[in-house]
């Protein structure tokens, strides 16, 4: 993909994420992303903008391997795929006081458009879509799991004011308001654990970016484990962006990567608990 096409693609992604924000769909977009944990943030924007009801996408050859064929007039969804490249470059450097010439292999990616199709546009053998969500009526169990999972102590106590909880790096602890409902405690704890594990912003100077970041992570993780929460709502996130879409765009890959890692760590923690109990 040449520089002009790359620029056009970036502008298209910026426009698409702006439309998502303007239409009040950021919360829906975050939820959508849980089905595509192997895709880049930019490709998530492209898929969502073309086919917002997609649940599982793959190329034609992949669907054929899964014994599914494309329907007539199946809707194409274009994404950008990296193509690894490399070349050898002669370089001169000093070694033991002498200039020598060596060959270094330079690796880089170029990009091209490829088409994928949603499973709804195919027919054939069923695909097992395992559900790993916890029972949404069992949030007390999940809350206790998160308390044990947290790398820092979790304390419940009375908090004056409107705050539901906070993470103190100075005291190395998370504090949760003791009068909250169980679901609110779970949502708040996810938020504060995200602060403790993944938030590397200076809160004094980058509070907006910090809150966009951790609220987005908390929403994705809560949704993955079956918690219906509006704590990380579109309006809350949009309020911290101050209308600047580029904040979300710049954080997109970081949000996605951290949320996926958070989910994986919780799932691994659960597996370890089961192995110890066996």
Q: What is the tens place of the pLDDT at every residue in 128-176?
A: 543 333 333 457 889 999 999 999 999 999 988 778 899 999 999 999 9
- pLDDT at residue 132 in the model: 36
Average pLDDT over all residues of the chain: 81
Residues 6 or more apart whose CB falls under 8 angstroms from that of 86 comprise 105, 106, 107, 108
- Of the chain, the percentage scoring pLDDT greater than 70 comes to 82
Task: Tell me how far apart the alpha carbons of residues 199 and 163 are, in angstroms, rounded to a whole number.
Answer: 19
124, pLDDT greater than 80 = yes
Average pLDDT of span 87-107: 81
Task: Tell me how far apart the alpha carbons of residues 197 and 152 are, in angstroms, rounded to a whole number.
Answer: 10
Quickly count: other Cβ atoms within 10 Å of residue 227's Cβ: 21
Strands (E), 33-135: 57-58, 68-70, 77-95, 98-118, 122-124
In angstroms, how far apart are the furthest CA atoms of the chain? Answer: 72
Which of 21-25, 255-259, 274-278 shows the lowest mean pLDDT across its residues? 274-278
233, pLDDT greater than 70 = no
Residue 224, sorted as left (phi over 0), alpha (psi -120 to 50) or beta, turns out to be alpha
122, pLDDT greater than 70 = yes
- The torsion of the CA quartet 153, 158, 162, 166, rounded to 10 degrees, works out to -10
113, pLDDT greater than 60 = yes
- pLDDT at residue 116 in the model: 94
Count H helices and E strands in the chain, helices first. Answer: 9, 8
Give the pair of three-digit tokens for residue 227: 């918690």
3 state SS for 173-209 = EEEEECCCCHHHHHHHHHHHHHHHHHCCCCCCCCHHH
**Could you tell me which of 169, 139, 175, 170 has the C-alpha nearest to residue 154?**
175
């Amino acid at each position: 993909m040449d520089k002009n096409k790359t620029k056009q693609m970036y502008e298209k992604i910026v426009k698409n994420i702006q439309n998502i924000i303007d239409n009040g769909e950021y919360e829906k977009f975050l939820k959508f992303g849980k089905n595509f944990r192997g895709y880049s943030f930019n490709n998530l924007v492209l898929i969502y903008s073309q086919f917002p009801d997609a649940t599982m996408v793959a190329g034609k050859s992949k669907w054929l391997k899964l014994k599914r064929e494309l329907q007539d007039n199946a809707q194409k969804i274009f994404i950008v795929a990296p193509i690894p490249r490399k070349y050898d470059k002669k370089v001169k450097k000093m070694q033991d006081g002498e200039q020598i010439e060596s060959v270094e292999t330079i690796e880089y990616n170029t990009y091209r458009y490829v088409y994928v199709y949603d499973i709804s546009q195919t027919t054939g053998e069923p695909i097992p879509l395992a559900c790993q969500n916890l029972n949404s009526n069992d949030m007390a169990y999940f809350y206790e799991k998160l308390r044990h999972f947290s790398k820092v102590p979790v304390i419940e106590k009375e908090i004056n004011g409107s705050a539901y909880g906070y993470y103190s790096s100075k005291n190395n602890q998370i504090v949760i308001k003791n009068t909250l409902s169980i679901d609110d405690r779970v949502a708040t704890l996810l938020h504060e654990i995200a602060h403790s594990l993944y938030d590397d912003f200076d809160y004094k100077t980058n509070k907006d970016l910090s809150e966009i970041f951790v609220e987005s992570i908390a929403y994705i993780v809560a949704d993955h484990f079956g918690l219906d929460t509006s704590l990380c709502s579109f309006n809350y996130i949009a309020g911290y962006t101050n209308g600047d879409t580029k904040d979300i765009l710049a954080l997109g890959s970081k949000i996605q990567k951290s949320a996926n890692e958070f989910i994986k760590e919780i799932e691994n923690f659960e597996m370890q608990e089961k192995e110890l109990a066996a």
